[in-house]
Amino acid sequence: MPITPLHALSLMFLYFRDRRLFDPLALAVSSSFIDLEVAYYMLIMEPLNHRLLHSFTLALTVYPILTTLGVYIAERLFTGKLQSIYNKLGLKTSHVQYPILTIYFCSLIGGFTHIFFDMFTHKDMPYVLYPVIYGNPFYLGTAVIVVELAVILLALYSCLVWLKTAKHKNN
């Protein structure tokens, strides 16, 4: 199972490819906040911790709308703070406030990719195709290492592009 920070990091190369089209905050939030559901169910000690939020139904409908609203508000209320954080991270963005449609687009990508990666690696993810199918027909068993390796490679690629970009901007 890809750990939550890898979900976000695996998408960051998109931001470095086109900074106008991809919002780094929306990509990071939308690809990782879905796991708040897992954290909640783990805290209350429920054995099934990937539930309705880990379904394409919610990840492509309600979740991107909520994520979009949250990111849109955060970018407008904390522009200066976010710019400072981006600068410290070496993102050196020209702007922090993205249009709402850009945020929504990134939220769709983040939610979709999170479910897409998880559906191959979690046997107990019965709502992946809810309400059409109960159960996870995509689970790969011992072959999950392929998906985990792909996520790790995407994250490493994002880090390499990030370092190259930061190095290039410092020169």
Mean pLDDT across the stretch 39-55?
93
The full length of the chain comes to: 171
- The percentage of the chain sitting over the pLDDT mark of 90, rounded to a whole number, equals 81
Query: What's the sign of the alpha-carbon dihedral 157, 158, 161, 167?
Result: negative
Cα–Cα distance for residue pair 146/149, rounded to 1 Å: 5
Is pLDDT above 80 for 167? Answer: no
Mean pLDDT across the stretch 148-161?
95
The reported pLDDT for the residue numbered 41 is: 95
Contact in structure between 64 and 26 (CB atoms under 8 Å)? no
Between residues 142 and 22, the one the model is more confident about:
22
Is pLDDT above 70 for 2? Answer: no
Residue with tokens 């695996």: 10
Single-letter code of the amino acid located at 131 = P
Helix axes 100-121, 144-170, angle to 10 degrees: 140
Its pTM stands at 0.92
